[in-house]
């Protein structure tokens, strides 16, 4: 029996926060040392932060990263630490895993497969390392290896796959296994997406089984740089079984998970694998003066059950609530803001936004305690007696077309969340702008001729006051637009799109309504239901900008939201042209919406509105990436601002 204690830690880092990033790394390292860990894996690019963007291009940036890496190395002592850092070699920059021990940097394994899809743009900054190549780089006056190699630590061999390396078919782990690798380190910065964590876990577990090794996976944590949220997933697996698994969506600055493994047992299982063909060539083996001491602790149990936050019938609802709440909490503290402000209409979107802001505080307190939250938000004045901690202002802004139902619903939600709720009447401002325009045009504005202008002015008049409240409070104004609205431009620029961050712009309206129902009846684990959401949940969504007698609803203006969601998925995610969408949806959907002519009308409407409103999507406040149907043109879904508008394709529908 050869027992070794291994550790993985997640870190909530911030790009260019050199002192803070280094401090958190050292704290995690010291905790690992105190717990008897002999080898520790930390996340990808943890020294600099993953989301440094074009700052990676700076020569001073990579040089500073090396100085802070040496500071970290001086603290690791007798354990082995693997941590992500950018390394410049000649004229190229490489995404690397640094191996640290006994005060020194012993080498850098470079990433071979760069993530360049979706929200990731690594090929813009880094170069992929060629498989099988080794070079040298000088650090602190000493030449150390860089490239594709394995460290031989006495009788234990250690290699690394950096995030995307593990997601490709020909992953480096295959060659590591053939060279008899005992431990594979997996530093990662894998962005959160709904229901993605089981996929990562399968990659880790299957890698440990197929390669006959221990696999240490450490992901980044929190809202690091604005748009991407990292869930902090940490897994230790060996020979196809999980030995340790951390909770997701922690509000802590770092979290450590450990496991004691029997290397002899692991090697015995590997020896039984007849299909594993060893490769005697050791051209990429690098010796390291490091010995694993025998751990006195018992081996870790396997296959520990998933926590309540990662299992059960409502995984997606839990993940959505916890991911966005963590994203909002980090955005608040990293932007040094004092709270949140929401223009609360009494409808689903603004209510969901306000609820998520309140959950950000409540979940942080539940995990960290009130005093730690106060320490993390030193700029804020916190009242722990309310659900939102006194960090939330909500305002209902009524025009002549606002109704008593939405006013009452907004008041109920604001009070239920413990927000500072206000009610403003904007009608005098609306009339002032209307009179100004009528004097300019020398005619009366009418709903028959000026419908859009008369609707938009109400939404735009609401913006200056709510911005002013956010400025006075030193708070974040939260934009309340959802993804379905963004797809078809059903929003007023400089009106309801106003805000510093758009927390729900990455999720569709149909799901938001279902999520609010779940929040009303069930709620997140440890939080429970919010029955005061009932007045919102039972309403039909409405912009409430036309006169009451028009009985305006969103779906009457657009189409049924469940159909809009389906068309958007086919048209944007799957890149289907209008005739293909028609062929795909004809049949069931024709019957549901009242005939093929109506379905064709809705499909034409979607494509026309989509192509006309790209300029709006370009101007939206930053939004969180929540799934692989994101419409954010800056990180996921590019489309020309000016285009032919699918004219030819839409004509084919008529045929």
Please give the average per-residue pLDDT across 473-497, as a whole number: 96
pLDDT digits over 396-427, tens only?
Answer: 999 999 999 999 999 999 999 999 999 999 99
Q: Are 383 and 516 spatial neighbours (Cβ–Cβ below 8 Å)?
A: no
pLDDT computed for residue 1 by the predictor: 84
pLDDT computed for residue 299 by the predictor: 86
Tokens 């992953």 found at? 171
pLDDT computed for residue 309 by the predictor: 43
pLDDT computed for residue 272 by the predictor: 79
What's the whole-number average pLDDT of the chain?
94
**Residues of the chain by 3-state class (helix, strand, coil), percent to 5:** 40, 20, 40
pLDDT digits over 318-364, tens only?
Answer: 999 999 999 999 999 999 999 999 999 999 999 999 999 999 999 99
* pLDDT higher than 90, residue 275: no
- Classified as helix, coil or strand, 302 is coil
* pLDDT higher than 80, residue 307: no
pLDDT digits over 32-84, tens only?
Answer: 999 999 999 999 999 999 999 999 999 999 999 999 999 999 999 999 999 99
Q: How far apart are CA 145 and CA 219, in angstroms?
A: 25
Q: How far apart are CA 224 and CA 264, in angstroms?
A: 39
The number of C-alpha atoms within 13 Å of 274 and in the hemisphere containing its C-beta is 0
Retrieve residue 625's tokens: 């990436």
pLDDT computed for residue 387 by the predictor: 95
When computed from its CA atoms, the radius of gyration of the chain, rounded to whole angstroms, is 27
Q: How far apart are CA 408 and CA 196, in angstroms?
A: 38
- When mean pLDDT is compared across 165-179, 305-319, 522-536, the lowest value belongs to 305-319
pLDDT computed for residue 281 by the predictor: 54
């Amino acid at each position: 029996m050869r027992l070794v204690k291994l550790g993985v830690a997640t870190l909530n880092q911030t790009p260019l926060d050199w002192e803070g990033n280094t401090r958190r790394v050292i704290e995690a390292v010291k905790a690992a040392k105190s717990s008897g860990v002999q080898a520790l894996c930390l996340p990808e690019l943890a020294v600099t932060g993953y989301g440094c963007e074009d700052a990676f291009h700076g020569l001073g940036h990579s040089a500073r990263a090396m100085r802070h890496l040496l500071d970290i190395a001086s603290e690791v002592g007798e354990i082995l630490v693997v941590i992500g850092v950018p390394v410049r070699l000649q004229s190229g920059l490489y995404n690397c895993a640094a191996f640290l021990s006994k005060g020194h940097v012993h080498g850098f394994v470079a990433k071979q497969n760069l993530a360049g899809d979706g929200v990731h743009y690594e090929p813009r900054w880094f170069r992929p390392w060629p498989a099988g190549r080794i070079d040298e780089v000088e650090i602190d006056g000493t030449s150390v290896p860089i490239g594709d190699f394995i460290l031989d630590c006495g009788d234990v061999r250690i290699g690394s796959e950096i995030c995307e390396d593990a997601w490709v078919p020909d992953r480096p782990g295959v060659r590591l296994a053939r060279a008899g690798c005992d431990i594979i380190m997996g530093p990662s910065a894998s962005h959160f997406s709904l229901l993605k964590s089981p996929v990562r876990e399968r990659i880790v577990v299957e890698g440990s089984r197929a390669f006959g090794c221990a696999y240490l996976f450490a992901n980044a944590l929190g809202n690091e740089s604005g748009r991407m949220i990292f869930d902090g997933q940490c897994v230790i697996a060996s020979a196809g079984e999980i030995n340790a698994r951390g909770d997701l969506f922690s509000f802590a600055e770092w979290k450590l998970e450990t496991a004691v493994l029997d290397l002899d047992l692991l090697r015995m299982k590997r020896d039984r694998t007849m299909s594993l063909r060893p490769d005697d060539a050791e051209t990429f083996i690098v010796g390291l003066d490091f010995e694993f001491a025998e751990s006195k602790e018992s081996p870790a149990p396997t296959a520990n059950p998933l926590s309540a936050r990662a299992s059960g019938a409502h995984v997606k609802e839990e993940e959505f609530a916890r991911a966005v709440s963590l994203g909002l909490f980090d955005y608040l503290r990293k932007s040094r803001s004092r709270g949140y402000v929401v223009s609360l209409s009494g409808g689903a979107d603004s209510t969901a936004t306000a609820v998520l802001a309140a959950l950000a505080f409540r979940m942080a307190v539940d995990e960290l305690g009130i005093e730690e939250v106060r320490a993390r938000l030193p700029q804020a004045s916190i009242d722990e007696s309310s659900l939102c901690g006194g960090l939330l202002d909500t305002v209902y802004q009524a025009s002549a077309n606002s109704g008593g139902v939405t006013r009452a619903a907004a008041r109920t939600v604001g009070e239920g969340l413990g927000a500072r709720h206000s009610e403003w009447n904007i009608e005098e401002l609306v009339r002032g702008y209307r009179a100004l325009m009528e004097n300019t045009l020398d005619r009366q504005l009418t709903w028959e001729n000026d419908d859009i202008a008369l609707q938009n002015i109400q939404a735009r008049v609401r913006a200056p006051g709510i911005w002013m409240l956010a400025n006075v409070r030193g708070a974040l104004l939260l934009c309340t637009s959802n993804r379905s609205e963004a797809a078809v431009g059903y929003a007023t620029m400089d009106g309801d799109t106003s805000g510093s961050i758009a927390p729900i712009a990455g999720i569709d309206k149909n799901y938001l309504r279902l999520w609010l129902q779940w929040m009303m009846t069930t709620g997140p684990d440890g939080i429970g239901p919010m029955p005061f959401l009932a007045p919102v949940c039972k309403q039909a969504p409405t912009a409430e900008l036309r006169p009451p007698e028009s009985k305006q609803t969103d779906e009457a203006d657009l189409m049924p939201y469940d159909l809009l969601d389906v068309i958007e998925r086919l048209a944007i995610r799957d890149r289907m042209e209008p005739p293909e969408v028609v062929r795909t949806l004809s049949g069931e959907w024709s019957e549901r919406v009242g005939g093929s002519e109506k379905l064709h009308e809705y499909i034409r409407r979607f494509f026309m509105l989509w192509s006309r409103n790209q300029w709006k999507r370009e101007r939206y406040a930053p939004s969180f990436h929540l799934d692989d149907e994101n419409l954010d043109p800056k990180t996921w879904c590019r489309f020309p601002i000016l285009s032919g508008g699918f004219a030819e394709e839409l004509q084919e529908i008529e045929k």
